[in-house]
Copies of this chain bind each other. A is one copy, B any other.
Amino acid sequence: MLEPPRPTDAELAILRVLRRRGASTVKDAHEELARSSPTGYTTTLKQLQIMAEKGLVTRNESQRAHLYVARCPEEQTQTQLVGDLLDRAFDGSAARLVQRALSSRPASPEELAEIRQWLDQLEGETK
């Protein structure tokens, strides 16, 4: 279990829900998911079972309705996905990726300020 493969689209959607709700039964997770994209109950169940096998979520079986929890923090998932994209499509250039991100979505002044703060912090470390 060294290299977690990157989560698929459906898996990311489920992780989003689990992180927002905390420990959830299949029923609860499914109801939330079905709001944005209607799908069968057993579909969500199957996804969660697979994700448990993969180690993306942990399962508490002490109750009849099992409880699922996201296993890794959102930060880790995000860092992994970004690093992956960096390698696959940006030749490792973080600067280029940032450029594309900012041109893809017009960021608010607040966001720009936040980013600037990050740059300050990083440059401070380098010195």
Q: Which A residues fall within an 8 A CB radius of B?
A: 9, 12-13, 16, 75, 77-83, 85-86, 88-105, 107, 109, 111-112, 114-116, 118-119, 122-123, 126
Contacts and interface: CB of A to CB of B under 8 A. Distances in A.
- Majority DSSP secondary structure for residues of A touching B: helix
A81 to B, nearest CB: 5
Contact of A107 (B100, B107, B115, B122): B122
Contacts of A109: 123, 126
Q: How many copies does the complex hold?
A: 2
B100 A79 contact: yes
B104 A82 contact: yes
Given A78-B90, A85-B85, A88-B9, A112 B119 contact: yes
